[in-house]
Amino acid sequence: MFATRRRISHVSISHGLLSHVSGLAQTALTARRCFNGTCRRSITRRISPSPLLIKGQDDVVGARNRARARLFSTISFNDPIEYEWIEGVEPLALYEPGGYHPVMVDDLLHRRYRIVDKLGHGGYSTIWLAHDEQTTRYVALKIGISGQMLPRREPSILSALSKSVANQETAPELLDASTTLPEILDVFNVQGPNGIHVCYTKTLAQGNLKEASFSRLFPIEVARLLVGRLALAVSLIHSRGYVHGDIHLRNVLVKLPSTIDELSIGDFRKTFGEPETVPILRADGEPLPPNAPPMAVVPLYLGRMAEDFTVDDANGLILGDFGEAWAPASEDRMGGDCNTPVAMRAPETLFEPDTPVSYSHDIWSLGTAIWEILGMGFIFDEAATTDEIVAQQIDMLGSQGLPQAWREHWERPKWEELVTETEVNVPRRPPGEEREAWPPLEEAFEVFVQRYRREQEAMGVFGEEETRAILELMRGMLRFKPEERMTIQEVLQSEWMTKWALPRDG
């Protein structure tokens, strides 16, 4: 846990709820104050650049803007209003026609959903904690951008998956895995100054594994179970003919106990703290347009830290965000249109951007997510350039499996003239003197995973036999040629899954 604490107010709630919620509340209040070691209360501002130049505001906008600009033909990225930048909130320049819907705390949407706080944001939506005044329960309310059809995909795909599981014969382990998919509770539209927005409510979750595991390790039994549950979720999705398309730890959530619904909004805020808001200001000092809200809300993290995760938490894993999902049998998704962050993205999307990708894309991303769950750090450098990330992949996995066409392009000298935009964007080897080589897979596991587990021995260390099985699984999932990668069934049947992860499932 973080060292900084705020005293938790006493409210009248049941003893069983208090013991669980107070722990979450301390984490939530601390996480709101501190993020990546910096205090969120001392918020800094600077002029926000054009959305096509935004870097690092979140994992979606920034790395994905070029692809999104092609998709969102209804959004005008010309001469956007520039706002003073606020740490930790959504890109404010996307409060424009076709973009985000302006929302404020205490707003009532669809005549039933009272906005209590913010949970997060992505490139296609903002996510809010809302209280359903009809059912008196808390829900996660996702409000999509208005400019494109993608926000409508998630509820329709999840509905199709749910019906498929209910109507078809399903293996017992996959029937159990159906609890790893989000439950869509309600779907509706709201009209606002930026257009018509698709909204839907889902079961409330603690938060994502990326936030939970920042500089922290999951206990070894919990880490194994999280991986097993995540693999089963992917297996269920693939068995129903879908590719998730965006597997990384920010999209992996953990359920909250339903007993939190016993809290009134007032008691919730006494327990977890008041919403943290910051005034939104234009860089030119002019008044705000109606497209943007007057205040930005810093997201509230409701979850535990990784070291405090229990087996019950791991059993509540949910794989969320199906906005990038597709069915390969009925539609093509070109590599260049994949919006997974580059460090988690299968290499064929980079080397062959005009070629359709399929289930093997998920396998690569799942492999990188497994590594991160086991060792708290990402297998490749998320902050590196595309060329550097590919160089790290080759360093770690070896160049033997690199397809010849990829190798030829990779090794072309920087000075050699390239003709097409596709050629220019395909990765090329960076000059050797400008980079430090990444360690090979076995050494990387020792340096990036085991070393930290030995330093925190209470979290558990992988033994020699288990380490060998993990590395064998990683090599099977992280193969350069997509046709040579394991299928999800082969992943589930691997030695490590069958001996260490899946037997502990459930």
pLDDT tops 80 at residue 112: yes
pLDDT of residue 151: 57
pLDDT tops 80 at residue 9: no
CA within 13 Å, CB half, 246 = 22
The single-letter DSSP state of residue 377 is S
User: Residue 299 and residue 501: Cα distance in Å, rounded?
Assistant: 32
pLDDT of residue 167: 66
Q: If pLDDT is split at 50, 70 and 90, which confidence band does 425 have?
A: confident
* Percentage of the chain modeled with pLDDT above 90: 63
The single-letter DSSP state of residue 1 is -
pLDDT digits (tens, 9 = 90+) for 62-89: 434 434 433 443 444 457 899 999 999 9
Long-range contacts of residues 37-42, Cβ cutoff 8 Å, at least 24 apart? 38/87, 40/87, 40/88, 40/276, 40/298, 41/276
* Percentage of the chain modeled with pLDDT above 70: 78
* 8 A C-beta contact, residue 505 and residue 229: yes
DSSP helix, strand, coil percent of the chain (3-state; round to 5): 40, 15, 45
Q: Is the pTM of this model over 0.85?
A: no
pLDDT digits (tens, 9 = 90+) for 286-314: 999 999 999 999 999 888 899 999 999 99
pLDDT digits (tens, 9 = 90+) for 402-422: 999 999 989 887 666 655 555
User: Residue 277 and residue 280: Cα distance in Å, rounded?
Assistant: 9
CB atoms within 10 A of CB 203: 18
Q: How far is CA 97 from the centre of its chain?
A: 25
* Most confident of the following: 168-177, 223-232, 434-443: 223-232
Kindly report the average pLDDT of the chain as a whole number: 83
Residue 499, marked binder: no
pLDDT of residue 172: 66
pLDDT of residue 246: 95
